[in-house]
């Protein structure tokens, strides 16, 4: 693996021999290193090229801890929404400030891959999955498969305008029933939204929190292969 600067984004790249590219966006406060182990774990016989993108915004997580994000989040307001039961409206009632820039930067990156690869799979975890969904809904021809790990409904009005018909790619979604960061209610809102637009995502609920457990890793590999266990 090596780090490259592509379309103004820092990327960990693991080149494979097949004509498949897999792009992963990490969650809020993390970095492109978080999911890099996937490149050594999944689809070894398929040998795709992996691209782990670093968030475009720096984030201070503590006195000595920094990370990256795709767009700013008011964490105090989010915590308040979680505590007073208004989380379901927090992300979906408006388009988050900064998500449009993230969409544009990653979309340009995907256009570069489209010229080199026959298939492009896009996905992410938490905030990275929100941006992945936003990009795929607005640019469906750039994506062949979409996977959303611990995601939620965002920008309901804008997404409804973008998804006026069935999307041309399959969708995988997973979520923990005890997720304290992004409650399962937001994931179920997203599932309901997709079904209303004639999409049938593969949805894995698991007993756990804000995480990607071994069960999800196995089912994600099956999804990326186009097979079921």
Give me the average pLDDT of each 10-residue run along the chain (229 residues): 94 96 96 96 96 94 84 84 79 86 96 96 97 96 97 92 89 96 93 90 96 97 79
The whole-number pLDDT of residue 144 equals: 97
Strands 2-6 and 9-14 come out as antiparallel
The whole-number pLDDT of residue 227 equals: 56
Residue 55 DSSP symbol: P
Helix axis angle, 99-114 to 127-138, nearest 10°:
60
The whole-number pLDDT of residue 101 equals: 95
Supply the range of the domain harboring residue 133.
Answer: 2-225
Q: Which two tokens stand for residue 62?
A: 């503590």
**Residue keyed to tokens 């989040």:** 73
**Residue keyed to tokens 């570069």:** 112
CA Rg value for the chain: 16
Strands 57-62 and 171-176 come out as unpaired
Task: Give the C-alpha separation, 214 to 95, whole Å.
Answer: 32
The whole-number pLDDT of residue 228 equals: 45
Phi, psi values for residue 101, rounded to 5°? -65, -45
Task: Give the C-alpha separation, 183 to 140, whole Å.
Answer: 27
CATH number at residue 206: 3.40.50.1820
* Count of structural domains within the chain: 1
The answer to whether 138 and 162 have CB atoms below 8 angstroms apart is: yes
Q: What is the pTM of this model?
A: 0.94
Phi, psi values for residue 199, rounded to 5°? -105, 145
**Residue keyed to tokens 């890099």:** 36
């Amino acid at each position: 693996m090596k780090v490259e600067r592509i379309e103004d984004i820092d990327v960990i790249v693991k080149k494979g021999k097949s004509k498949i590219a897999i792009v992963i966006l990490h969650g809020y406060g993390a970095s492109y290193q978080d999911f890099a182990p996937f490149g050594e774990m999944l689809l070894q016989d398929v040998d795709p090229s992996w691209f782990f993108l670093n968030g475009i915004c720096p984030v201070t997580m503590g006195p000595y801890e920094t990370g990256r994000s795709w767009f700013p989040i008011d964490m105090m307001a989010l915590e308040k929404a979680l505590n007073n039961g208004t989380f379901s409206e927090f992300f979906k009632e408006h388009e988050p400030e900064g998500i449009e820039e993230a969409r544009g930067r990653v979309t340009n990156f995907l256009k570069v891959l489209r010229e080199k690869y026959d298939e492009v799979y896009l996905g992410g975890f938490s905030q990275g999955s929100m941006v992945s969904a936003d990009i795929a809904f607005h640019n469906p021809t750039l994506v062949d498969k979409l996977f959303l790990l611990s995601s939620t409904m965002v920008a309901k009005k804008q997404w409804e305008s973008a998804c006026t018909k069935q999307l041309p790619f399959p969708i995988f979604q997973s979520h923990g029933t005890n997720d304290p960061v992004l409650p399962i209610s937001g994931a179920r809102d997203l599932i309901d939204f997709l079904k209303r637009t004639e999409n049938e995502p593969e949805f894995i609920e698991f007993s756990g929190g804000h995480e990607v457990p071994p069960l999800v890793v196995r089912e994600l590999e099956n999804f990326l292969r186009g097979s079921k266990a």
